[in-house]
Structure 1
Amino acid sequence: MANTVPHHQVSTANEIPGCRIVRSLGIVRGITVRSRSVVGNLGAALQTIVGGNISIYTELCEKAREEAFELMLRHAAAMGANGVVAMRYDANEVAQGVTEVLAYGTAVQVEAST
């Protein structure tokens, strides 16, 4: 059993191209909660003066999504899945400067279509 579901076996659709779902195992999720540091907030404030992309926040958001995604894949593998369909992200601010990022979907077992 793999420790994680392969990235190419994840889809935001209700199917994985080239595969047939043989069993649905239920909802899986990965969650992370991140905060911005004082230094990060200061750097972002300086970037807002210039305008454009605030790369400090972009990097923080990307890392949070990646971590939540990987946790979801491990959760799916622990359930015996080799794929995830209907994958989505959600994010909420749980306190000022503290954000929860959730990756979720349906764990499935798939086999190659014939």
Structure 2
Amino acid sequence: MIVATTNDLPGHRVVRVIGMGRGITVRSRNIVSDALGGLQSIVGGRIGAYVKLAESARKEAYEALIEEARAMGGNAILAMRYDANEIMPGITEVLAYGTVVVVEAE
């Protein structure tokens, strides 16, 4: 699966646009990450506990997007983006989405 944030794919021709694909996950913080994040926020700088949680959520949403694109019959995703929303305090939805297409090498 080829995934690009661009609207086209140099060296390839889009032969069919299938439609929008998306992968979603909903994650919550936990006591351990909150405790570590709270301690790290006192001294400032990068809060590793939250970075790990954010990266894990993005990876899960990305993998779900790829799975959906394959199920739709695509071999590439164009204009891939992430979006995140807080559903309630401590619970975040992460969405990976893009246009599922079939491409051929030129």
Same fold (TM over 0.5): yes
How far apart, in 1, do the equivalents of 2:10 and 2:48 lie? 34
Counting strand residues as a fraction of each chain, which structure ranks higher? Answer: 2
| TM-score with structure 1 setting the length | 0.91
Confirm or deny that 1:112 pairs with 2:86. no
Preserved contact between residue 10 and residue 16 of structure 1 (Cα < 8 Å): no
Confirm or deny that 1:12 pairs with 2:14. no
Instruction: Report matched runs for 1:1-114 at 5 Å.
Output: 6=1, 9-113=2-106
Q: How far 1:39 moved relative to its partner?
A: 1.4
How far apart, in 2, do the equivalents of 1:50 and 1:18 lie? 48
| TM-score with structure 2 setting the length | 0.98
Residue aligned with 2:22, SS: strand
Preserved contact between residue 90 and residue 102 of structure 1 (Cα < 8 Å): yes
**Runs of at least 5 residues in structure 2 that lack an aligned partner in the other structure:** none
How far apart, in 1, do the equivalents of 2:92 and 2:51 lie? 13
Residue aligned with 2:58, SS: helix
Runs of 4+ in 1 over 4 A off after TM superposition: none
Q: 1:26 is matched by which residue type in structure 2?
A: G
Q: Deviation digits for residues 47-68 of structure 1, max 9, x if unmatched?
A: 0111100000001000100110
* Partner residue, 1:3: none
How far apart, in 2, do the equivalents of 1:16 and 1:57 lie? 33
RMSD, aligned CA: 0.6
